[in-house]
């Protein structure tokens, strides 16, 4: 794709992003049905606030002093633990990943006196953030790729000056896809050869490293800065961190203040994140293996397409014939009757006449076998609309 066709200044999308569509599909009735199910395929409803607070109170970090605007306490402990795990010099906690990455890109743009940032058109930055990269940060998005992660050749074809290159790991909206590891290394080498900062949108970097079969530090070493989230694969309450050199992290502090990112205290988020690092991060390779086994079983079912056929991480898409609204209604009836909850929502699939649902393997998969999961999905496919 040439620069002329990839450099755009598009208006915000009119249609709600896929994440909003899926969220809206989970209405109060759906949540009540899901709560009453004996079988949940991938993402059970969270425990009560009382249960969560009791669990966090038992964590060793709960005895620390309460942080003061992110200084000290469990937040400092989390920054140390995360930077050590990613092999970076420093890290800074943020309450929200969207704003954290806006700080990152604004800092790069200011340092390089350039507003051009490479992103993928299916990335979270482009689909889920209401045009923030352009309308809030004032940057110019250069969009590379279509239905798969872009590679080093696409970057090498660009002639515009760049403030930064952003790669989402994995690319969720494309099916939780990862770039080929050798190609990712080539992108890193290309960026470093030209002195262009490479930033990883690593909301699921923990899962990406597990999918590649390498350590988080080995993966993070390819980028100049890395953002990670704590509430997806690690099951935290929220929050994120950006890691990099000490000088770069220090440059983000004014941006954090400018965007109103300083909470009076953030210790509940930090303790929950530490708990996820302790208990769930070590299990992610097992969840990846389980997702691949489940995908292999689902691939044998007629009337369903698995994308990708061999998942790159612990998550993947399934495509079924029908519209999102038809399948959502059918799924609600199925779940209410069989007490089996399979999918949180449906959205349009790239294949005409089909809708897409996501499956993300985590602790819920401890409670069933792969054969039981395949059978549950088979029953849903066979179920007839009322």
Residues 117 and 154 occupy one common structural domain: yes
Among 227, 261, 279, the domain boundary falls at: 279
Angle at CA of residue 101, ends 99 and 103, nearest 5°? 70
Residues 112 and 193 occupy one common structural domain: yes
Angle at CA of residue 205, ends 203 and 211, nearest 5°? 135
- Taking alpha carbons only, the member of 349, 5, 17, 10 closest to residue 144 is 5
Residues 84 and 187 occupy one common structural domain: yes
pLDDT at 255: 86
pLDDT tens digits, the chain, 386 residues: what are they?
Answer: 333 333 333 333 333 344 444 444 578 899 999 999 999 999 988 899 999 999 999 999 999 999 998 899 999 999 999 999 999 999 999 999 999 999 999 999 999 999 999 999 999 999 999 999 999 899 999 999 999 999 999 999 999 999 999 999 999 999 999 999 999 999 999 999 999 999 999 999 999 999 999 999 999 999 999 999 999 999 999 999 999 999 999 999 998 888 888 889 999 999 999 999 999 999 999 999 999 999 999 999 999 999 999 999 999 999 999 999 999 999 999 999 999 999 999 999 999 999 999 999 999 999 999 999 999 999 999 986 54
Among 279, 302, 335, the domain boundary falls at: 279
Maximum CA extent, the chain:
62
- 3 state DSSP class of 317: strand
> How many domains in the chain?
2
Q: How far apart are CA 77 and CA 155, in angstroms?
A: 38
Residues 195 and 326 occupy one common structural domain: no
**Residue 55 falls within a domain, yes or no?**
no
pLDDT at 20: 42
Q: Which residues pair with 165 in a beta bridge?
A: 118, 198
Residues 247 and 321 occupy one common structural domain: no
**Residue 2 falls within a domain, yes or no?**
no
- CATH code for position 110: 3.40.640.10
Residues 92 and 240 occupy one common structural domain: yes
pLDDT at 21: 43
Q: What is the DSSP string of 77-128?
A: HHHHHHHHHHT-SEEEEES-HHHHHHHHHHHHHHHHT--EEEE-TTSHHHHS
Q: How far apart are CA 308 and CA 38, in angstroms?
A: 28
**Residue 57 falls within a domain, yes or no?**
no
Residues 309 and 162 occupy one common structural domain: no
**Residue 346 falls within a domain, yes or no?**
yes
**Residue 261 falls within a domain, yes or no?**
yes
The range of the structural domain enclosing residue 259 comes to 63-279
- Taking alpha carbons only, the member of 77, 47, 86 closest to residue 237 is 47
Residues 118 and 133 occupy one common structural domain: yes
pLDDT at 222: 98
Helical H segments across the chain, by residue range: 3-6, 18-25, 28-35, 49-57, 73-86, 97-112, 124-127, 132-135, 152-156, 181-194, 205-212, 216-220, 246-258, 267-279, 284-298, 324-338, 370-382
* CB contact at 8 A, 103 and 136: no
Residues 118 and 212 occupy one common structural domain: yes
Q: How many CB atoms lie within 10 A of CB 303?
A: 11
Residues 94 and 215 occupy one common structural domain: yes
Structure confidence by residue, pLDDT tens digits, 132-187 = 999 989 999 999 999 999 999 999 999 999 999 999 999 999 999 999 999 999 99
Among 279, 314, 339, the domain boundary falls at: 279
308 preceded by cis ω (within 30°)? Answer: yes
Q: Sheet holding 354-360: strands in order across?
A: 304-307, 315-321, 354-360, 347-348
Three-state helix/strand/coil letters over 41-82: CCCCCCCCHHHHHHHHHCCHHHHCCCCECCECHHHHHHHHHH
- CATH code for position 355: 3.90.1150.10
Residues 207 and 304 occupy one common structural domain: no
**Residue 363 falls within a domain, yes or no?**
yes
Q: How far apart are CA 156 and CA 35, in angstroms?
A: 50
Phi-psi region of 66 (alpha: psi -120 to 50; beta: other; left: phi over 0): beta
Residues 272 and 286 occupy one common structural domain: no
**Residue 58 falls within a domain, yes or no?**
no
**Residue 360 falls within a domain, yes or no?**
yes
């Amino acid at each position: 794709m040439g620069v002329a066709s990839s450099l755009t200044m598009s208006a915000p999308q009119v249609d709600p992003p896929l994440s909003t569509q899926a969220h809206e599909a989970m209405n109060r009735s759906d949540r009540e049905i899901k709560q009453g199910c004996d079988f949940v395929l991938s993402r059970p409803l969270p425990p009560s606030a009382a249960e969560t607070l009791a669990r966090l109170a038992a964590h060793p970090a709960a005895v620390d002093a309460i942080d003061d605007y992110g200084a000290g306490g469990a937040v400092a402990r989390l920054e140390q633990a995360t930077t050590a795990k990613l092999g970076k010099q420093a890290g800074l906690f943020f309450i929200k990943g969207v704003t954290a990455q806006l700080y990152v890109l604004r800092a790069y743009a200011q340092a390089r006196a350039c507003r051009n940032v490479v992103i993928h058109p299916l990335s979270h930055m482009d689909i889920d953030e209401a045009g923030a990269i352009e309308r809030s940060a004032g940057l110019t998005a250069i969009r590379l790729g279509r239905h798969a992660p872009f590679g080093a050749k696409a970057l090498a074809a660009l002639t515009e000056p760049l403030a930064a290159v952003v790669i989402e790991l994995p690319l969720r909206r494309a099916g939780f896809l990862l770039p080929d590891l050798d190609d990712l290394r080539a992108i890193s080498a290309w960026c470093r050869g030209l002195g262009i900062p490479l930033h990883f949108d690593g909301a699921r970097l923990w899962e990406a490293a597990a999918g590649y079969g390498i350590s988080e530090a080995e993966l993070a070493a390819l980028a100049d800065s890395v953002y990670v989230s704590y509430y997806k694969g690690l099951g935290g309450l929220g929050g994120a961190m950006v890691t990099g050199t000490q000088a770069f992290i220090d440059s983000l502090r004014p941006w954090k203040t400018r965007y109103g990112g300083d909470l009076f205290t953030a210790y509940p988020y930090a303790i929950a994140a530490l708990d996820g690092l302790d208990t769930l991060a070590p299990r992610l390779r097992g969840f990846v293996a389980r997702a691949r086994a489940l995908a292999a079983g689902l691939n044998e079912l007629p009337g369903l397409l698995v994308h990708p056929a061999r998942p790159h991480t612990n998550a993947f898409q399934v495509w079924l014939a029908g519209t999102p609204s038809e399948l959502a209604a059918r799924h609600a009836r199925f779940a209410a009757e069989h007490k089996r909850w399979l999918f949180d929502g449906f959205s349009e699939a790239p294949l005409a006449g089909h809708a897409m649902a996501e499956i993300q393997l985590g602790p819920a998969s401890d409670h069933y076998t792969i054969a039981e999961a395949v059978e549950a999905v088979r029953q849903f496919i066979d179920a007839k609309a009322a």
